[in-house]
Copies of this chain bind each other. A is one copy, B any other.
């Protein structure tokens, strides 16, 4: 079954952006490019909340647009009325139930893009299978949180741990689902 991956670059104190949205502390390197290239190869779907969409859609298109070719993005919002962008679909349904259904369809991996609020809803629904972090060597003190309280403990299994360029650390975990993967389908959204 395709995996749902929550991947992010974060500070050691668990922020994905500073309180002013700043990401000037992010370290770019060939290591990160290699890792991201592998991620993109295995991915055909992005899911994100409205706030992340607003940041992402305001940014200039990536210089390497091919990275996004063949990618379908789903933006979850109950307030947006329409999104007019090729490959981007607006969803007003419950994110957990929708992503659980996406997992059952054939396809490559699904990446959870951006902030803690949206990721929390997917942890609550227990549909996230993997957490991949690029932990940066800085304490920001405040900002956009990587993790918010999902209402239950989420047990993880470490699958990868290695230092990469710039004093960053790559940590990958498999999520130990709270119930049998089959049973998770009945949770909350039935």
Contact = CB atoms under 8 A, between A and B. Distances in A.
Interface of A: 12-14, 25, 123, 131, 133, 135, 137-142, 146-158, 161-163, 167-169, 171, 173
Nearest to A169: B161
B137 A158 contact: yes
Given A141-B150, A141-B152, A173 B123 contact: no
Contact of A13 (B138, B147, B157, B161): B147
Nearest to A160: B163
A135 B162 CA distance: 14
Given A137-B158, A141-B151, A141-B154, 5 more contacts: A12-B171, A14-B14, A139-B153, A157-B167, A158-B163
Given A14-B13, A147-B13, A157 B141 contact: no
- Ranked 8 nearest A-B pairs via Cβ: A141-B149, A158-B167, A139-B154, A137-B156, A13-B147, A161-B163, A14-B14, A142-B149
A173 B11 CA distance: 13
B173 A137 contact: yes
18 contacts: A12-B133, A13-B14, A14-B14, A14-B147, A25-B153, A135-B171, A137-B157, A137-B158, A138-B156, A139-B154, A141-B148, A141-B151, A141-B152, A141-B154, A142-B149, A158-B168, A161-B163, A161-B169
Nearest to A176: B137
Nearest to A141: B149
